[in-house]
Amino acid sequence: MYKELAVALGLGTLVALVFLKKRKGVLKAHDGWWGVGACPQGPEDDSIRPFKVETTSEEIEDLHRRLDQTRSFPSLEDSQFNYGFNSKYLEKLVSYWRNDFNWRKQVDKLNKYPHFKTKIEGIDIHYVHVKPKSLAEGTRAVPLMMVHGWPGSFYEFYGIIPLLMEPSSPDDITFEIICPSIPGYGFSEAPHKKGFDGVCAAHIFNKLMKRLGFNQYYVQGGDWGSLITTNMAQLEPNAVKGLHINFAPPGKAGLLMMLSILFGRRFPKLFGFTEHDVKRLFPTMEKLVVDAIRETGYMHIQSTKPDTAGRGLNDSPVGLAAYILEKFSTWTDPEFKNLEDGGLERKFSLDDLLTNVMIYWTSRSIISSMRFYKENFSKGLNQPHAKLPVYVPSGVASFPNELMHSPKSWVTQKYHKLKTYTPMARGGHFAAMEEPQLLAEDTSVSTRDKHDSK
């Protein structure tokens, strides 16, 4: 009796193992329909339309009226950015926005690169597509898609695009760059149906690259962009030649990760932990809990009832700027919350920060951008893509002030062909905007690596 049970159990395990092995491999996605109402019959309109960012006097006057009508509210004394965006500095920002910021000029800057829109799965997808002007004899530009996150936009890449397109050394790769707006962000249409998550975005972006005529290409991303580009690599490992991310949240907790959490502090070498790894991974229990509560409130709101909180931000440019730019302060350097001005101008210009806010404001996309969190978390953690490794050659740039830190030994658990893992000299969450030179170099190096090894 026991013997039979044992044999049955053994066989069962074997079958399960074979089955699990089989299931490994490629992630599958179904075509979606995210447009209004039912999916129409017949082929999709796959035309590509040039697009220009535009503005009108009415739009600017409406903004100014709302800025003039803001009701200020004093921050507590000596609170800096610890209670959220400091009101004294907010008054300064609003005054700059109202009197000095020139949206028309920024619109021209946005239009410096060619924009396009094309319909995929029922919604308009917006993207910037930049080709290098001149190429050396016999060389080809390498297509690279760069995907932004929240609360960023395609504009985050405006500083890095020229660096990747006009490399300083002749050995460097020249890229042709495509920066889409995630559906529901900026000038991409928001999905009209529930359930649009990272895999759905990845499926659409892979289709976009095919539509542009690329059978093989590279992808790069931070924040949601890192999830989406990772999903792109999982969906189409033959099309995505290489992946570079500057955000690698700890993946599924496997045995090695568990052991490294338990013993990594005492035996860092055993798990390949650097000093920086130990510092980042093992803060005091108090810091761990306090930081988690203090810095993730926005995530809780956006993952549960985005439409309620979002409505206020959709009406008030000042509220929207405070909500978005507080992240550009704290996510650039956690110590910036102890500064009166949130350190915002240490790494960014007000023109760049406000341009990013204006992309959300004029496209009315804050609510739909927040919904991406809801769709992400409501599906639970046990998603097929979360369990699936990535088999595409990958590079990870690990910036010291990134929100979540994953040591190399964790990253290799998920990214099986990790080619480069670079502890970066400085920088935080908005790497493309904050440290374009460093990010461009690492993207280029990790891609060249993959090129040569082919």
Ligand X SMILES: *[C@@H]1O[C@H](CO)[C@@H](O)[C@H](O)[C@H]1NC(C)=O
Q: Can you give the binding site for ligand X, defined by CB under 6 A?
A: 197-198, 227, 249, 376, 379, 383, 386
Query: Which position among 89, 218, 223, 352 bears the catalytic label?
Result: 223
> Considering the complex, what minimum distance in angstroms separates the CB of residue 25 from ligand X?
18
Gyration radius (Cα) of the chain, Å: 23
Tell me, yes or no, if 223 is annotated catalytic.
Answer: yes
Residue 446 makes CB contacts below 8 A (sequence gap 6+) with 242, 244, 394, 395, 419, 420, 422
Nearer of residues 349 and 378 to ligand X, judged by Cβ: 378
DSSP for 33-44, please give it: --SSSSPPSS--
CB of 3 to ligand X, least distance (A): 42
Amino acid at 400: P
| Complex with ligand X: residue 200 or 433, whichever CB lies closer | 200
Smallest separation (angstroms) from ligand X to the CB of 385: 6
Nearest of 300, 354, 288, 364 to residue 324 by alpha carbon = 354
Contact 406, 249 (CB under 8 A): yes
Q: Which is nearer to ligand X, 197 or 333 (CB)?
A: 197
Q: CB within 8 A of 19, min separation 6: which ones? A: none
* Strands lying side by side in the sheet with 394-398: 48-51, 115-120, 123-130, 175-180, 142-147, 217-221, 240-245, 394-398, 418-423
Q: Is 118 helix (H, G, I), strand (E, B) or coil?
A: strand
Nearer to ligand X, 211 or 387 (CB): 387
State how far the Cα of 165 lies from the Cα of 159, in Å rounded to an integer.
11
Residue 277 annotated in active site: no
Nearest distance from residue 377's CB to ligand X, in Å?
A: 7
Supply the minimum distance, in Å, between the C-beta of residue 252 and ligand X: 8
Report the residue number, 383 or 422, with the smaller CB distance to ligand X: 383
Residue 437 is encoded by which pair of tokens? 């030179």
Report the interhelical angle of 317-330 vs 366-378 (nearest 10°): 50
DSSP state of 80: T
Per annotation, catalytic residue among 115, 203, 385, 429: 429
Tokens of 346: 């240490």
Return the HEC string of 311-355: HHHHHCHHHHHHHHHHHHHHCCCHHHHHCCCCCHHHHCCHHHHHH
**214 Cβ contact partners less than 8 Å away, ≥ 6 residues apart:** 143, 239
Least distance from ligand X to the Cβ atom of residue 381, Å: 7
d(CA 50, CA 409): 44
Nearer to ligand X, 6 or 386 (CB): 386
Q: Helix, strand, or coil here: 68?
A: helix
373, 405, 415, 442: the catalytic one is 373
Q: Which is nearer to ligand X, 237 or 249 (CB)?
A: 249
SS3 content of the chain, % helix, strand, coil (to 5): 50, 10, 40
Nearer to ligand X, 198 or 343 (CB): 198
Least distance from ligand X to the Cβ atom of residue 442, Å: 20
DSSP assignment, residue 214? -
Least distance (Å) from ligand X to the CB of residue 227?
A: 4
- Is 385 part of the annotated catalytic residue set? no
Residues annotated as catalytic (active site), given as ranges:
223, 373, 429
